[in-house]
Structure 1
Amino acid sequence: MRYRVRHITEYTYGAPVSLCYNMAHLLPRDTRNQRCLHQKIQINPPPVYQNDGEDYFGNQTFYFSIQEAHKKLVIDVTTDFEIASLNVLEWQAQSTLSCGELRAMLNAPNTPELRMAKEYLLDSPQIRRSEDLKAYALSTFADDEPVLQAAMAFTHKIFSEFKFDPSTTTVATPLEQVLKQRSGVCQDFAHLAIGCLRSVGIPARYMSGYLETLPPPGQEKLVGADASHAWFAIFTPDFGWVEFDPTNDLMPNEQHIVTAWGRDYSDVTPLQGVIFEGGGSQQLAVSVDVRRV
């Protein structure tokens, strides 16, 4: 499957900005089933400095600096890539590794992959392990439960017990509040799942990207109506990192486009920066369009 993603970010400032530095996670990365074919970055005003790079997690980044007065900043990124289908349902059926066996392997890691996976058992800036999170997940991840089947069951648990409601949370809402109110958005559900998994000794990471959405029957798709999406992945020695989407109750495949992964949202923020001169109030507008080509 081939896709084209166009992601436009627009900041409007209350006062002119004359100096700013920015870093972006807006370029889909290559994975075992995803390959970038072409990418185009347009920034207005034009930066005096721009450079591509990779962060600690291997995500593609680009840095830029603008040193002229401006009241509007526009970052327009278009990427073409292809995604191959994975036999994710077969993995789930074939995997016999239990949660207890995985925890034992992590306690005495004997491969680089296991040692690296242990990083995703630790607390991170937006996700703290807790007894409440452990209590919510522990019965699903009992020692004798196959780990991939348990992860899918837990994905369904969040999907069925939580309501998608953008009005109830912000990027700063604590996990304990999300757990208590049983509502939120994809970022909250991914953070919740990761916090629960780490609390029961299963390594989990945050996945950021896009999801292809289809219009209702008989209606045209609206340009720019798509949005960024978030889900999670767990590590197993036999299949590596395996992804789950609690917002949609499924294992991601061809319709999920990976931009970046990390410990939580703070590692993969689409755009972050510092304004040194000017700015005042600011308004953010984001337009995302995902199309098959």
Structure 2
Amino acid sequence: MRYRVRHITTYTYGAPVSLCYNMAHLLPRDTHNQRCLNQRVQINPPPVYRNEGEDYFGNQTFYFSIQEAHKKLVIDVLSDFEIFPIDLTMWQQNNTTTCGQLRANLKMPMTPQMRMAKEFLMDSSQIRRSEELKAYAQSTFSDDKPLIKAALEFTHKIFTEFKFDPSTTTVATPLEQVLKQRSGVCQDFAHLAIGCLRSVGIPARYISGYLETLPPPGQEKLVGADASHAWFSIFVPELGWVEFDPTNDVMPNDQHIVTAWGRDYADVTPLQGVIFEGGGSQQLAVSVDVKRLL
């Protein structure tokens, strides 16, 4: 399956900004089943400096600096890529690693992959382990339960017990509040799942990207109506990192497009930076289009 993603980010400032430095996570990365074909980044006003690279997690990044006064900043990213479907049924049926076996292996990791996975057991800037989160997940991840089966059950648990409601949370809402109010958005559900998993000794990481959405039958898809998406993955020794989407109660396959992954949202913020001499109030507008090419 081939896709084209266009992501336009527009900042409008109340007062002219004289200088800005920025780093963006907006370029989809290559994965075991995703390959980037080509990409284009247009920035207005044109930057005096720009450079692409990789961060600690291997995500594609680009840096840029604008040194002329501007009241509007537009970052227009166009990416084409190909996704190859995975036989998820085979994974579910053939993998018998239990939660208890994984926890035991993590105590004495014998492979580089296992040692690297332990990093995703620790607290991060937006996710803290807690007894409350542990209590919510503990029965699902019992020692004798197969790991993928438990993760599927937990994904379904969040999907059925939580309501998607953008008005109830912000990027700073604590996980305990999300758990209490049983509502939020995809970022909250991914963070909640990761916090619970780490609290019961299962390595989990945050994934940002896009999801192909389709309009109702008989209706045309609106331009710019798509949005960024978030989900999580867990480490399974024989398979590597396996993904789960609690917002939609699925294992991502060929309709989920990975941009970046890290410990939590703070590691993969789409755009971050600093501005000088101006800014004042600012307005952010984001337009995302995910188009299937083949």
TM-score tier after normalising by the smaller chain length = over 0.9
Gaps of 5+ in 2: none
Which residue matches 1:133? 133
Aligned to 1:33: 33
Q: Which residue number corresponds to residue 257 of structure 2?
A: 257
Q: Distance in 2 between matches of 1:275 and 1:84?
A: 40
1:1-293 to structure 2, matched below 5 A, reads 1-293=1-293
Structure 1 residue 76 displacement after superposition:
0.1
Percent identity of the aligned residues? 83
Query: Which amino acid in 1 is paired with 2:152?
Result: M
Question: Partner amino acid for 1:155?
Answer: T
Alignment root-mean-square deviation, CA: 0.4
Match of 1:221, SS?
Answer: coil
**TM-score between both structures, scaled by the size of structure 1:** 1.00
Deviation of 1:153 after TM superposition, in Å, equals 0.4
Structure 2 residue matching 1:104: 3-state secondary structure: helix
Letter in 2 for 1:78: L
How far the C-alpha of 1:164 sits from its partner, in A, is 0.3
Shift of 1:278: 1.2
Q: Distance in 2 between matches of 1:10 and 1:177?
A: 31
Question: Secondary structure of 1:167's match?
Answer: coil
Distance 2:93 2:288 in 1: 35
> CA–CA distance in 2 between the matches of 1:165 and 1:93?
34
Stretches of structure 1 that go unaligned for 5 or more consecutive residues are: none
Matched letter for residue 119 of structure 1 = E
Classify the secondary structure of the residue corresponding to 1:52. strand
**Partner Cα distance (2:34, 2:229) in 1:** 16
Deviation string for 1:216-262 (max 9, x for gaps)?
00000001100000000000110100000000000000000000000
CA distance, structure 2, for counterparts of residue 276 and residue 15 of structure 1: 11
Q: Secondary structure at the match of 2:143?
A: coil
Contact 1:20 1:277 in 2 (8 A): no
| Separation (CA, whole Å) in 1 of partners of 2:278 and 2:66 | 12
**d(CA) in 2 for partners of 1:214, 1:273:** 33
Match for 1:77: what amino acid?
V
* Paired residue secondary structure (1:206): strand
Shift of 1:90: 1.4
Q: Secondary structure at the match of 1:191?
A: helix
State the secondary structure of the residue aligned to 2:39.
strand
The structural deviation recorded for 1:133 is 0.3
AA aligned opposite 1:59: N
- CA distance in 1 between counterparts of 2:112 and 2:133 reads 28
SS of corresponding position for 2:140: coil
The one-letter amino acid paired with 1:93 is Q
Question: How far 1:289 moved relative to its partner?
Answer: 0.1
Deviation at 1:88, TM superposition (A): 1.6
4+ long deviations beyond 3 Å:
none
Aligned-partner residue type, residue 21 of structure 1: Y
Give the secondary structure class of the aligned counterpart of 2:167: helix
Q: How many residues align?
A: 293
Determine the C-alpha separation between the residues in 1 that align with 2:147 and 2:82: 29
Distance 1:3 1:144 in 2: 40
For 1:107 and 1:164, how far apart are their aligned partners in 2?
37
Aligned partners of 1:183, 1:279: CA distance in 2, in Å? Answer: 33
Within 2, Cα distance between the matches of 1:35 and 1:16?
A: 39
1:89 to partner: Cα distance: 2.2
